[in-house]
Amino acid sequence: AQSVTQPDIHITVSEGASLELRCNYSYGATPYLFWYVQSPGQGLQLLLKYFSGDTLVQGIKGFEAEFKRSQSSFNLRKPSVHWSDAAEYFCAVGAVQGSQGNLIFGKGTKLSVKP
């Protein structure tokens, strides 16, 4: 079955510390991979995406993610977290071919930032 697993429901980091949010997927076809961020009362905003090519992708707000096919992972990283990064983060996977809109989302990881 197709699925996305985000093992960490809630993570707390200190401001300025590094961050890694984990994402593992199970998908039969070649996947597209996405990370979205959702702040309270706001819509989902795309942080970055992987379609093909370089497996290390850069996104907005200083985030990056690395696609590791052998581990079926697409972990999100940031070297130094800012208080404004506190939000909920969702990993999503979609098919390279077929219904492009049928993204499967993980349950999300809520990030809290300590001053």
Partner 1 sequence: GAGVSQTPSNKVTEKGKYVELRCDPISGHTALYWYRQSLGQGPEFLIYFQGTGAADDSGLPNDRFFAVRPEGSVSTLKIQRTERGDSAVYLCASSPPGPGELFFGEGSRLTVL
Strand partners, 110: 10, 88
Q: Which of 69, 102, 112, 114 binds partner 1 (CB under 8 A)?
A: 102
Tally helices (H) and strands (E) across the chain.
0, 12
Q: Is 60 in the site for partner 1 (CB under 8 A)?
A: no
Rounded Cα distance, 105 and 90, in Å: 7
Backbone torsions φ then ψ of 60, nearest 5 degrees = -80, 165
Which of 51, 69, 80, 112 lies at the binding interface for partner 1 (CB under 8 A)?
51
Least distance from C-beta 112 to partner 1, angstroms? 16
Chain residues binding partner 1 by CB under 8 A are 4, 32, 34, 36, 41-46, 49, 51, 90, 92, 94, 96, 99-108
